[in-house]
Amino acid sequence: MRAALRLFAAHGLEGTTVEQITEAADVGKGTFFNYFPTKEHILMAFGDTRLQKIRAALDEARTGDTPIWQVLRRLAHSLAEEASHSPGLLRSILVAPLTRQPVREFMAGKLEEGRGVLGEIFQLGQDRGELRSDLTTAHMARGFQQSVFGALVLWSLDARGDLLAWLDLWLEMFLGGLDPKELRSAKTSRGRN
Amino acid sequence: MRAALRLFAAHGLEGTTVEQITEAADVGKGTFFNYFPTKEHILMAFGDTRLQKIRAALDEARTGDTPIWQVLRRLAHSLAEEASHSPGLLRSILVAPLTRQPVREFMAGKLEEGRGVLGEIFQLGQDRGELRSDLTTAHMARGFQQSVFGALVLWSLDARGDLLAWLDLWLEMFLGGLDPKELRSAKTSRGRN
């Protein structure tokens, strides 16, 4: 998978052949097709590793020793890890779901699954009084996901500045909006509904 | 431009010919090439129309009659308008900067310019005491841009639910993090720096 992703980053999914992947990984074609029936299956496996990262964060949150903001910070860094090493890889991974419907459906499913697990993390934060309780955890999960996703896509276009440092700054803003004490002043000072 | 974008949405940038565009728009090829030397120039013009939307929001904010949160809400809706009508268009627009370096550089430049104008809107909000003043307006601008961008990209993948209603919910969270009264409680309750 790593050898394939490196090649995708350099030449795109279209510009990479199975021969190049098996040669770079030093495995036989038979072995390759055992694991990945098509090149797209490599991207799908990549989606699974990201989902595992979110599940690991949920496990960490469940131990109860770590405040939720810290769990989310580590998770944001972990999700940004590959991107921060290779904006080209991130771009080539994004093109596949944008252009191919089966990959898109698979990825949309994984993202939905990811939001579900994220929602469990936010639920723990609400249960412990660390997060405001008037927003659904589904909203918080989607807000977190779209911001991390947006940060990575924007960064894949210009690759300037320190992505992880930026995610910390963003998280400070994001969590400010989820603080339990902050709700009333926001509602009363602006009267939004 | 509209005829071209419709064709891009259906067939992608690669799958659309200049002939198809000029036929759909009922203009001559000479006229087309006067405005758009290449197909990519259509996407660049599209980037300009988005920048104009942000400038219009700044003009609205400058009149001083509209609270900043309302300016941002209208802007988010306006930026999501085309996407909410056609996720396919959005996907085809995203592929070009991901796969072609000149388009990517152009788009990164436009996004940076957009963040600059957004920063001026947030600055007005700070000056009027509507937004917390301990964050730079550049951070707020980037946070806003990445979230709207992320919302559109995610929506282009599954196109489920009401995009504009979701942006309202997200904005409520986002602005909660920028409320001037909310800073101290966030700092003291979590001890983040």
Between chains, do B190 and A150 touch, taking CB under 8 Å as contact? Answer: no
Q: Give the torsion through C-alpha atoms of B91, B97, B98, B102, to 10 deg.
A: 160
Contact A110, A47 (CB under 8 A): yes
pTM of the model: 0.87
- Which among B63, B77, B90 has a CA at the least distance from the CA of B171? B77
Query: If you compute the radius of gyration of chain B from its CA atoms, what whole number of angstroms results?
Result: 19
Amino acid found at B178: L
Tokens 């565009």 — which residue? B21
Between chains, do A108 and B176 touch, taking CB under 8 Å as contact? Answer: no
CA separation for the pair A79, A145 (Å, rounded) = 10
Note the pLDDT of residue B142: 95
pLDDT above 70: percentage of residues in chain B? 93
Note the pLDDT of residue A25: 87
CA separation for the pair A5, B154 (Å, rounded) = 22
For the ranges A37-46, A70-79, A129-138, B182-191, which has the lowest average pLDDT?
Answer: B182-191
Contact B68, B131 (CB under 8 A): yes
Res B182 pLDDT > 60: no
| Tens of pLDDT, residues A92-113 | 888 888 888 888 999 999 999 9
Exposure on the CB side of residue B165, measured as CA atoms within 13 A: 4
Q: What's the mean pLDDT when you consider all of chain A?
A: 86
Greatest mean pLDDT range, A178-187, B75-84, B98-107, B138-147 = B138-147
Res B145 pLDDT > 70: yes
CA separation for the pair A29, A22 (Å, rounded) = 6
Q: Which domains does chain A possess?
A: 39-190 (1.10.357.10)
CA separation for the pair B163, B159 (Å, rounded) = 8
CA separation for the pair A146, B193 (Å, rounded) = 24
Look at B46 and B145; give whichever has higher pLDDT. Answer: B145
ipTM attached to this prediction: 0.85
Res B63 pLDDT > 90: yes
Average pLDDT of the residues in B58-87: 91
Cα of A81 to nearest chain B Cα, Å: 18
Q: Which residue in A43, A69, A113, A146 has the most chain B C-beta atoms within 10 A of its own C-beta, making it the best mutation to test that interface? A: A146
CA separation for the pair B47, A173 (Å, rounded) = 27
Average pLDDT of the residues in A153-170: 91
Interface of A with B in 4-63 (CB under 8 A): 12
Note the pLDDT of residue B181: 60
Res B184 pLDDT > 60: no
Res A190 pLDDT > 60: no
Q: Does A140 touch chain B (CB under 8 A)?
A: yes
Res A9 pLDDT > 80: no
Please give the structure tokens belonging to residue B111. 């996004």
For the ranges A85-89, A165-169, B71-75, which has the lowest average pLDDT?
Answer: A85-89
Res B119 pLDDT > 90: yes
* Three-class DSSP labels, chain B: CHHHHHHHHHHCCCCCCHHHHHHHHCCCHHHHHHHCCCCHHHHHHHHHHHHHHHHHHHHHHHHCCCCHHHHHHHHHHHHHHHHHHCHHHHHHHHHHHHHCHHHHHHHHHHHHHHHHHHHHHHHHHHHCCCCCCCCCHHHHHHHHHHHHHHHHHHHHHHCCCCHHHHHHHHHHHHHHCCCHHHHHHHHHHHCCC
| Tens of pLDDT, residues A49-96 | 999 999 999 999 999 889 999 999 999 999 998 777 888 888 888 888
Q: Which residues contact B48 (CB under 8 A, 6 or more apart)?
A: B110
Q: Which chain A residue is nearest to residue B187, measuring alpha carbons?
A: A176
For the ranges A9-23, A127-141, B111-125, which has the lowest average pLDDT?
Answer: A9-23
Q: Which chain A residue is nearest to residue B97, measuring alpha carbons?
A: A157
For B98, the closest of A91, A108, A147 (CB atoms) is A91
Contact B43, B73 (CB under 8 A): no
Task: Give A134's DSSP letter.
Answer: S
